[in-house]
């Protein structure tokens, strides 16, 4: 790839079998960020993870409403910022009320949003038209 | 979820034969471990050498096995974790929960 | 993946740097067609090639009109048929008038459509709303 | 397009250091070969071992080099073609146009 600007949009059915594909697209794009001076392998892994977690949540919660639904994922990479948007048609939720995992009493669930928040620089979740958007940003400098 | 089981005297070894554990196959891992525990195999080593990627649901599946083994007075330990996968255990502090060994031999040698 | 039905849609800018990604998505999906009894590695390579050729054409000819344009690629795989659609916003062309390559006097150009026709079972190119669609099918039995 | 050049007595070897030749990088390959020819290097072996994928524009770039070498009374031959890439030469009958060798040594041994 080489040049800094990347814009890819992928639309998949709400099925977990597509997580592998989505994660790998992210990993691939991360690995090819030739202008990124940090640890590119680590960034590629984080992109895989963050896309997997965000898409898995969108699939899980969209599914409850409309099984025939799709999830749209947009990945935008500029020289200094990476931006991921995951659109779902589920009932939505309040990102602010999701608690941190309790490390002294670990649970099976509730680590996905924590991964996203920890590995990236900002996360928001807002209603936009007829869908919800989880928007994830990371500075690349 | 491709898994193979190696029966030993006191400890069974579950070899995870997947490069990736995510929400698509983690339920399979969780169930498999639960079934083993229910069949009376209370001591397990989960060998993770093949695994290059794990998400939160994969960690959750292993934690479920860990807790279920403990509640049956058994033990679930891990071995051969790849560096990038280990980083996920560290981020969630689950490396302080699980016993983690370099390889299966070391895992078995440390059980009594 | 495993289950037979696959539906993925990818939208990219009209830039050749995305060909690698598109081709590799196709290769990946092909390799995971567990129900396909033929040579899966060969099918995966053909999908890579056919997607690369079709997308390269869409990029090349859309670009002439609108540099800010995007190309949409839809990949659908059922148990017995594979269907690829590539949408472009270019001036279009008449697929029927594209000649076979002259094997006795080979040229640098004009091998892309030939690859698609040879490796797949049917190819059409039609106007659909405000865009053109190259539709490629292959029976998987 | 990553390429390395190995200068020999009469034949230069161009090592293609890419896994993939497609419409994104084939123009780079075409230009590189054309520049070599214009610099007076009329005899070339293109070593394709790294290449796992080639599209029609990649074949076109090599054919362009072949024709340009011939028009200068030179020669462009190929070596170390992977099976899946060779299949593309066969589909377009370009295997009948190019001299194709197993490796660089064989390619060089067959030139006079
Ligand atoms: N896209 C979404 N739609 C609705 N609720 C969501 C979505 N993403 C996350 N959530 C809510 O946030 C909680 C925490 O999510 P997460 O950290 O990924 O853990 P988990 O999915 O394992 O519960 C979920 O239990 C769910 O209630
Ligand atoms: N999407 C398209 N839009 C307009 N013209 C096209 C498109 N795809 C193919 N063509 C036409 O068909 C011809 C043959 O295409 P192809 O076999 O891919 O060879 P090449 O692109 O190397 O010329 C092109 O030269 C072009 O005129």
CA distance A84 to chain C (A): 14
CB of A116 within 6 A of ligand 1: the answer is no
Mean pLDDT of B14-34: 98
* Contact of A2 with A34, CB cutoff 8 Å: yes
Q: Do chains B and D touch (3 or more CB pairs under 8 A)?
A: no
Tokens matching residue D75: 């020669």
pLDDT higher for B64 or A36? Answer: B64
By C-alpha distance, the chain C residue nearest A13 is C7
Tokens matching residue A112: 């996905």
What does D4-61 look like in DSSP terms, one character per residue? Answer: EEEE-SS-EEEEE--SEESTTTHHHHHHHHHHHHHTT--EEEEE-TT--EE-HHHHHH
Tens of pLDDT, residues D46-101: 999 999 999 999 999 999 999 999 999 999 999 999 999 999 999 999 999 999 99
Contact residues on chain B for A60, CB-CB shorter than 8 A: 23
CB of C55 within 6 A of ligand 2: the answer is no
Contact residues on chain A for B53, CB-CB shorter than 8 A: 23, 45, 48-49, 52
Q: Which residue has the tokens 């292993």?
A: B62
**Residue among A125, A28, A108 at smallest CA distance from A137:** A125
Report d(CA C32, CA B17) in Å as an integer.
16
Tens of pLDDT, residues B38-59: 999 999 999 999 999 999 999 9
Whether residue A56 and residue B20 make contact (CB cut-off 8 A), yes or no, is no
CA distance C43 to chain D (A): 11
Per-residue model confidence (pLDDT) at position D8: 85
CA distance C14 to chain A (A): 10
Contact residues on chain B for A111, CB-CB shorter than 8 A: 56, 59-60, 92
- For residue B25, pLDDT over 70 is answered with yes
Query: Packing angle between helix C19-31 and helix C40-65, nearest 10 degrees?
Result: 150
Report d(CA B19, CA A31) in Å as an integer.
18
Give the number of the ligand closest to the Cα of residue C136: 2
Number of residues written out for chain D: 112
Q: How confident is the model at residue C60 (pLDDT cuts 50, 70, 90)?
A: very high
Neighbors of chain D with 3 or more C-beta pairs under 8 Å: C
Q: Do chains A and C touch (3 or more CB pairs under 8 A)?
A: yes
Q: Strand ranges (DSSP E) for chain B? A: 3-7, 12-16, 20-21, 43-47, 53-54, 75-79, 100-101
Report d(CA D44, CA D11) in Å as an integer.
5
CA of C98 to the centre of ligand 2 (A): 8
Give the number of the ligand closest to the Cα of residue C134: 2
Long-range contacts of D98-104, Cβ-Cβ distance < 8 Å, separation of 24 or more:
D98/D62, D98/D66, D99/D75, D101/D45, D101/D77, D103/D79, D104/D13, D104/D45, D104/D47, D104/D79, D104/D80
Tens of pLDDT, residues A101-125: 999 999 999 999 999 999 999 999 9
Per-residue model confidence (pLDDT) at position D29: 98
By C-alpha distance, the chain B residue nearest A17 is B24
Contacts of C129 (CB under 8 A, 6+ apart): none
Q: Which of C16, C19, C57, C100 has the most ligand 2 atoms within 8 A of CB, as the residue to mutate?
A: C57
Mean pLDDT of C57-84: 87
% chain A with pLDDT above 70: 93
CA distance C82 to chain D (A): 21
Q: Which residue has the tokens 């080979």?
A: C106
- For residue B109, pLDDT over 80 is answered with yes
CB of C98 within 6 A of ligand 2: the answer is yes
Q: Looking at the DSSP assignment, which residues form a beta bridge with residue A87?
A: A72, A133
Q: How confident is the model at residue A34 (pLDDT cuts 50, 70, 90)?
A: confident
Tens of pLDDT, residues C14-24: 999 999 999 99
- For residue D14, pLDDT over 60 is answered with yes
Contact residues on chain C for A17, CB-CB shorter than 8 A: 1-3
% chain B with pLDDT above 90: 94
* Contact of B45 with B11, CB cutoff 8 Å: yes
Give the number of the ligand closest to the Cα of residue A96: 1
3-state class (DSSP) for residue C92: coil
State the DSSP H helix or E strand holding residue A30, giving kind and residue range, or none if neither: helix A19-31
Kindly state whether C123 is in contact with chain D, defined as any CB-CB distance less than 8 angstroms: no
Whether residue A28 and residue C29 make contact (CB cut-off 8 A), yes or no, is no
- For residue C67, pLDDT over 60 is answered with no
CA of A117 to the centre of ligand 1 (A): 13
- For residue A1, pLDDT over 50 is answered with no
Mean pLDDT of A32-44: 90
Whether residue C16 and residue D24 make contact (CB cut-off 8 A), yes or no, is yes
By C-alpha distance, the chain B residue nearest A57 is B23
* Contact of D45 with C96, CB cutoff 8 Å: no
Q: How confident is the model at residue C2 (pLDDT cuts 50, 70, 90)?
A: very low
- For residue A93, pLDDT over 50 is answered with yes
Whether residue C59 and residue D23 make contact (CB cut-off 8 A), yes or no, is yes
Whether residue B92 and residue A23 make contact (CB cut-off 8 A), yes or no, is no
Tokens matching residue B2: 């491709």
Report d(CA A133, CA A115) in Å as an integer.
18
- For residue C4, pLDDT over 60 is answered with no
Tens of pLDDT, residues D32-41: 999 999 999 9
Residue A3 half-sphere exposure toward CB, CA atoms < 13 A? 8
Calculated CA dihedral for residues B23, A28, D56, D39, nearest 10 degrees: -170
**Residue among B18, B11, D84, C79 at smallest CA distance from A19:** B18
* Contact of D69 with D39, CB cutoff 8 Å: no
Per-residue model confidence (pLDDT) at position C66: 64
Mean pLDDT of B1-12: 92
Whether residue C112 and residue D93 make contact (CB cut-off 8 A), yes or no, is no
């Amino acid at each position: 790839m080489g040049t800094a600007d990347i814009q890819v949009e992928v639309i998949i059915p709400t099925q977990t079998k597509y997580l592998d594909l989505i994660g790998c697209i992210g990993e691939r794009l991360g690995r090819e960020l030739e202008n990124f001076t940090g640890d590119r392998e680590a960034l590629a892994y984080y992109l895989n993870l963050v896309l997997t977690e965000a898409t898995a949540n969108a699939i899980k919660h969209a599914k409850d409403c409309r099984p025939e639904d799709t999830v749209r994922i947009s990945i935008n990479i500029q020289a200094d910022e990476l931006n991921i948007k995951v659109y779902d048609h589920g009932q939505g939720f309040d990102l602010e009320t999701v608690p941190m995992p309790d490390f002294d009493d670990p649970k099976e669930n509730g680590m996905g949003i924590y991964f996203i928040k920890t590995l990236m620089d900002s996360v928001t979740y807002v209603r936009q038209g007829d869908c919800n958007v989880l928007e994830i940003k990371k500075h690349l400098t | 979820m491709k898994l193979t089981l190696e029966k030993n005297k006191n400890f069974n070894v579950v070899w995870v034969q997947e490069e990736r554990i995510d929400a698509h196959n983690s339920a399979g891992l969780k169930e498999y471990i639960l079934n083993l525990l229910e069949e009376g195999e209370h001591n397990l080593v989960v060998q993770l050498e093949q695994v290059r990627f794990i998400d939160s649901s994969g960690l959750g599946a292993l934690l479920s096995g860990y807790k279920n083994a403990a509640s049956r007075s058994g033990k679930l330990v891990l071995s051969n974790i790849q560096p990038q996968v280990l980083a996920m255990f560290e981020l969630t502090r689950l490396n302080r929960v699980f016993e983690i060994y370099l390889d299966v031999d070391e895992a078995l040698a440390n059980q009594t």
